[in-house]
Amino acid sequence: MSKEWRLKTPLSEEDVRKLELLDIVYLTGKMWGIRDENLRRHLDHGQPLPEGVNYRGYPVLHEASGYKKNGDEWVFTSGMGNTTSTRMERWMPQIVERHGCRAILGKGGMLEGTTNACKKYGCVYLSTIGGAASHYDSHAKIVEVYWPDLTSQAILELELKDYGPCFVAIDAHGNNHYFNQRKDVETRRADIYRKAGVSSPSASPQIIPIVPQR
Amino acid sequence: MPIPYQVVEETARQMYGRALKKYPPDLVKCLRSAAKAETNPVAQKHFQLMVASIEKGEQKDQPICQDTGMQTLWIKAGTNMQFNGQKVQDAIRNGVRRWSSENEYRKTVVHPVTRAKVGEQVGLRHPTIYWDFLEGKDYLEMMMLSKGSGSENQGFLAMLVPAQGINGVKQFIIDSVLAAGGQFCPPGVAGVGIGGTFDSVARMAKEALLRPLDTRNPDPKIAELEDELLEAINATGIGPMGLGGKTTVFKVNVEYGVTHETQNPVALNLQCWAHRKAGARIHSDGRVEYIDYFGGEAHE
């Protein structure tokens, strides 16, 4: 049965090591919003993070948002939600290792590299519900926008109050809920095909390439 | 009397907003019944929050999902109407552009090579507009789908060969859903195209998403295929957001077209639970009615 945790950021290693798969977390405090173009600028093009940006100990969200400045305040226009984390797989092990973030929030899961980094350095992956921006962004405010020239791909400093539910889907001990699910599906694959009336599934990919059989 | 283009523009503008903020009633029904059938507590929690999120979006008058999507439009024009097709297209593009910029939504459209922002929600070949006709009618119907990227990235197409038959088609769809996992924000809808050509099969898969979720394909063989695929896909247990559960898709809608004797094309376009679609019927006198699907009952 899932346990429920209310955690304040920054998070300690102990905070995240105690979390188990499918535990439910609500976060209060600072979080960073990151995504494709700001990760590319920093990690592919080597541009140092802007002054004031430091992920160490904090959760980072694979974020997607529409916002504008209203006087001195940042306000959401089309809202703020999550985005598909697998797109960021190439970069995230480095964010865990070099920048010491303690939680990655997003949707859809992450792969081996991030799972291993989470285990080694003490970080978790939290799945949030995609498309539910109108719920989640009621629990978040934008404090500052870094690299604003990237517009919707900028880095966001966020302040959270009871941001959740966030579901632990990769823990800090090498367990990946998506991989577990997938292993389970593999044991039932023939049954699944049979339900659609496929009795002799082909072992090969569906596309027939013009290459000699190896 | 030609159709008033100002009305077309204003309707396209409103439709975009409605697609983002107003949830289609057939999907709300599916969401509620899937929630009732679910026994997995984590999946139940997802359903509760999805329903709450729809209500919150309406309260805040804000899109349910922040990804305001890429827009595809289908127009069915009555053959008794007079209009300049170019002007209708321009009006639609202008309506989409205006809604996005007036509301200062996230500008998601970029150049595919440089990735530079276009700066508005319209650009080269976007939005996609498809034309069809309604024999003997004196009105025009439009449907808009505004798909977010999480689900659009989970699109699959294969030019299978006849030797692979319908079994190959089914296996391709199941394998593709397994590859997508939780990435398309399940539970959602599977739009499937079978037959046609490389381009038309993709179009069929997307068009399948417009069909109401409480309908079956009128061809009994295809309807049976929809049922079989639904059962198989839900047997994967992928569930809400890929964390596990009974419902991975609410419905499989299949559209088909004749194909070449040497071809066997198949396409799958997955749609997320935040199924953003809207429609309108514009009469030649400028009267506008909103609809949820082609030929649907008018409301407001």
Q: Quick one: B97 and B192 in the same domain?
A: no
Which of A97, A91, A74 lies closest to A35 in space, CA to CA?
A91
Q: Quick one: B170 and B264 in the same domain?
A: yes
The torsion angle over the Cα atoms of residues B116, B117, B119 and B124, rounded to 10 degrees, is: 80
Cβ neighbors of A211 (< 8 A, separation 6 or more) are none
pLDDT in tens, B25-61: 899 999 999 999 999 999 999 999 999 999 888 888 8
Lowest mean pLDDT among B51-60, B185-194, B234-243: B51-60
DSSP of B52-79, one letter per residue? HHHHHHHHHT--SSS---EEEEEEEEET
> Is the CB of residue A64 less than 8 Å away from at least one CB of chain B?
yes
- Structurally, chain B folds into a number of domains equal to 2
Measure CA B156 to chain center: 15
Provide the pLDDT for residue B93: 95
Q: Quick one: B220 and B136 in the same domain?
A: no
Provide the pLDDT for residue B3: 86
Check whether the bond before B218 is cis (ω within 30° of 0).
no
pLDDT in tens, A8-35: 999 999 999 999 999 999 999 999 999 9
Mean pLDDT of chain A: 94
pLDDT in tens, B162-182: 999 999 999 999 999 999 999
Provide the pLDDT for residue A213: 57
Provide the pLDDT for residue B106: 84
In a domain, B46, yes or no: no
In chain B, pLDDT over 90 holds for what percent of residues? 85
Q: How confident is the model at residue B2 (pLDDT cuts 50, 70, 90)?
A: confident
CATH number of the domain located at residue range(s) A4-195 in this protein: 3.20.130.10
Is A84–B159 a contact, with Cβ atoms under 8 angstroms apart?
A: no
User: Cα separation of B64 and B58, whole Å?
Assistant: 8
Q: Quick one: B266 and B154 in the same domain?
A: yes
Provide the pLDDT for residue A206: 57
Q: Quick one: B282 and B142 in the same domain?
A: yes
Residue pair A125/A169 in contact by the 8 Å Cβ criterion: yes
Residue A134: list chain B partners with CB under 8 A: 53-54, 56-57, 60, 62-64
In a domain, B102, yes or no: yes
* Mean pLDDT value of segment B227-236: 98
User: Cα separation of B135 and B175, whole Å?
Assistant: 40
Is A196–B229 a contact, with Cβ atoms under 8 angstroms apart?
A: yes
Q: Which domain holds residue B183?
A: 149-271
User: Cα separation of A105 and A130, whole Å?
Assistant: 11
Provide the pLDDT for residue B276: 92
* Mean pLDDT value of segment B255-265: 97
User: Cα separation of A118 and A60, whole Å?
Assistant: 13
In a domain, B49, yes or no: no
Provide the pLDDT for residue A78: 87
User: Cα separation of B9 and A163, whole Å?
Assistant: 39
Provide the pLDDT for residue B100: 86
Q: Quick one: B12 and B143 in the same domain?
A: yes
> Is the CB of residue A151 less than 8 Å away from at least one CB of chain B?
yes
Q: How confident is the model at residue A203 (pLDDT cuts 50, 70, 90)?
A: low
In a domain, B120, yes or no: yes
Q: Quick one: B283 and B141 in the same domain?
A: yes
Beta bridge partners of B194: B256, B266
Lowest mean pLDDT among A84-98, A152-166, A192-206: A192-206
The torsion angle over the Cα atoms of residues B3, B94, B86 and B279, rounded to 10 degrees, is: -60
Q: Quick one: B68 and B104 in the same domain?
A: yes
Give the chain A residue nearest B233 (alpha carbons): A192
Mean pLDDT of chain B: 94
Provide the pLDDT for residue A212: 67
Residue pair B48/B35 in contact by the 8 Å Cβ criterion: yes
Tally Cβ neighbours within 10 Å of residue A179: 15
The helix or strand, by DSSP H or E, that contains position A113, with its residue range, turns out to be helix A112-121
> Is the CB of residue A83 less than 8 Å away from at least one CB of chain B?
yes
In chain A, pLDDT over 90 holds for what percent of residues? 89
> Is the CB of residue A176 less than 8 Å away from at least one CB of chain B?
no
ipTM of model: 0.92
Q: Quick one: B235 and B164 in the same domain?
A: yes
The number of residues in chain A equals 214
CB nearest A133 (choices: B66, B236, B244): B66
User: Cα separation of A61 and A21, whole Å?
Assistant: 18
Structure tokens at B68: 């305001």
User: Cα separation of A106 and A95, whole Å?
Assistant: 14
Q: Quick one: B226 and B205 in the same domain?
A: yes
Which of A53, A182, A161 lies closest to A115 in space, CA to CA?
A182
Q: Quick one: B245 and B286 in the same domain?
A: no
* Mean pLDDT value of segment A87-95: 97
Provide the pLDDT for residue B76: 97
Which of A86, A151, A121, A90 lies closest to A11 in space, CA to CA?
A121
Which residues, numbered 179 to 208 in chain B, qualify as contacts with chain A under a Cβ-Cβ cut-off of 8 Å?
A: 181-183, 185
In a domain, B239, yes or no: yes
* Mean pLDDT value of segment B260-282: 96
Amino acid at B238: I
* Mean pLDDT value of segment B125-137: 96
Amino acid at A99: H
Q: Quick one: B248 and B158 in the same domain?
A: yes
